[in-house]
Structure 1
């Protein structure tokens, strides 16, 4: 059995915070973790952090996102693509430069 979650009705058209995804996660958990359809119809903007959290929730609960448009669709695609790439941490020597005043800062940047 699937449950349809209308994000516009739940959170409005402009979603800026990662924590807002908690409302969706709560509904999914209350649905005994049944597969949910997260309907983004009418949602105009979502932040990257909300998109990241929403994708994580979907991954854990096997839910799907539908009806994304405009900026919300673009952000979901960007975040989804960035999540598929593994992050590489570069190890190497880091040079620390101590600057004591504006004159030393000016002198440092004049060397570039």
Structure 2
């Protein structure tokens, strides 16, 4: 079964937050094997929303997803998120110093001294 979800009908013209994107799962029919996400009328999509859309697509492995009618900003965001997910994530904390504070007073003294 094919299903088309017009995102502007579910949300508004701007797509924000991971939690809002996770609501998309409820819109996808269990028996749909081909799902089209229609971005017509969507002007903005946050990185977190795009990342959650990628999570949904990855988690729903027997379904084929097609994204249509993306403006250039939305398409660029999806591309950046997909590309970022395919690269190894590096955390820049190898040389970070760790400090331990037992109360607010010691933290305040440390911050004032900086």
Q: Is the 8 A contact 1:5 1:24 kept in 2?
A: no
Distance 1:11 1:101, change over 3 A: closer
State whether structure 2 residue 10 is matched by structure 1 residue 10.
yes
Which secondary structure state, in structure 2, belongs to the residue aligned with residue 9 of structure 1? helix
Per-residue deviation at 1:81? 0.9
State whether structure 2 residue 110 is matched by structure 1 residue 100.
yes
What residue is the counterpart of 1:34 in the other structure? 33
CA distance in 2, matches of 1:59, 1:96: 36
Q: How many residues align?
A: 103
- Of Structure 1 and Structure 2, which has the larger fraction of its residues in helix? 1
Structure 2 residue runs without a partner (length 5+): 100-106
TM-score by length of 1: 0.75
Q: Which range is displaced more, 8-17 or 44-53?
A: 8-17
CA distance in 2, matches of 1:90, 1:27: 38
Structure 1 residue runs without a partner (length 5+): 106-112
CA-based RMSD: 2.4
CA distance in 2, matches of 1:96, 1:60: 36
CA distance in 2, matches of 1:95, 1:20: 36
What residue is the counterpart of 1:63 in the other structure? 65
Distance 1:101 1:31, change over 3 A: closer
CA distance in 2, matches of 1:33, 1:60: 14
What residue is the counterpart of 1:110 in the other structure? none
- 1:2-49 residue CA offsets vs partner (Å, 9 max, x unmatched): 101100111111111111223321121x34252201111110001100
Per-residue deviation at 1:64? 2.2
Per-residue deviation at 1:87? 1.3
